[in-house]
Amino acid sequence: MAESSGDETSLLLPQHLQAKLEQDCIQIVHFKKLHSLPVDMSVETILRNYWTYANDMATEETNIPILKEVLDGIKIYFDFMLRDHLLYSEERHQYDLEITKKRHLTNTNCVNSDEGTPNINNDDTVMMPSSVYGISHLLRLFVKMPLFLIQAKFPTTHINLLNQHFKDLLTYMSQNPDLLFSDEKYVSSDSLDLIASSLTSSNSIST
């Protein structure tokens, strides 16, 4: 299980997961690197794989419906919080460009054959963070999750229950070597200029 601080409303990451976050910070802040997106194993995939694992390991005491609600909630929180709360300032430009790229590709490919006009659906044109980012950004969520829950005015009993599920998920992640290294492909921040340039050129051609 993940470490316990003695206060059940707090949440501490296992030491080597904390070390992963520290190394990630060094790559991004000091060496000006960015994660290559999308990562090999997204947050969405991590949660789906854990759901399968938890079901296989379930006992009579396992509350499967509650577990599903918790995992769904993690994904929703991740998608909602990432842009403003889970990114270093160095990463926000990349985030915005990836969304723009997705919108451009969707609007270019989704053309109504009868009318010849873009078939735009706002839900489809936005790239969900949980399908693009991986374990490092998910760990950042868990670092801030206790504060988010307190700000949301969750009762302490609910926070205790959620934290137990979070700790089980953290233990699963810490014991999965393939997962730990699934998002360690970094690119130079200069590569963003190429993406921005290609998008500008494409938009100029289409107008």
Give me the domains of the chain, ranges plus CATH numbers: 15-206 (1.10.274.30)
Q: Residue length, the chain?
A: 207
The whole-number pLDDT of residue 72 equals: 96
pTM of the model: 0.79
Instruction: Return the ∠ at Cα 151 (arms to 150 and 154), rounded to 5°.
Output: 50
Q: Residue 77's pLDDT band (boundaries 50, 70, 90)?
A: very high
Pick the range with the lowest mean pLDDT from 21-35, 110-124, 178-192. 110-124
Is the confidence at residue 66, as pLDDT, over 50?
Answer: yes
The whole-number pLDDT of residue 193 equals: 61
Is the confidence at residue 205, as pLDDT, over 60?
Answer: no
Q: Assign residue 154 a region (left: φ > 0; alpha: ψ between -120 and 50; beta: otherwise).
A: beta
Q: Which residues face 186 on adjacent strands?
A: 35
Name 146's Cβ contacts closer than 8 Å, sequence gap at least 6: 9, 10, 11, 159, 163
Instruction: Report yes or no: 34 and 28 within 8 Å, Cβ to Cβ.
Output: yes
Question: 93: which 2 tokens?
Answer: 């430009």
Q: Which of 138, 159, 161 is nearest to 77 (CA)?
A: 138
Amino acid identity, residue 157? T
CA distance 110 to 125: 10
pLDDT, mean of residues 196-206 = 52
The whole-number pLDDT of residue 20 equals: 93
Is the confidence at residue 117, as pLDDT, over 50?
Answer: no
Pick the range with the lowest mean pLDDT from 23-37, 97-111, 129-143, 152-166. 97-111
Read off φ and ψ for residue 176, nearest 5 degrees: -115, 90
The whole-number pLDDT of residue 115 equals: 40
The whole-number pLDDT of residue 69 equals: 95
- Number of helices (H), then strands (E), in the chain: 9, 2
Is the confidence at residue 102, as pLDDT, over 80?
Answer: no
The whole-number pLDDT of residue 177 equals: 82
The whole-number pLDDT of residue 187 equals: 92
Q: Which of 39, 38, 30, 46 is nearest to 184 (CA)?
A: 39
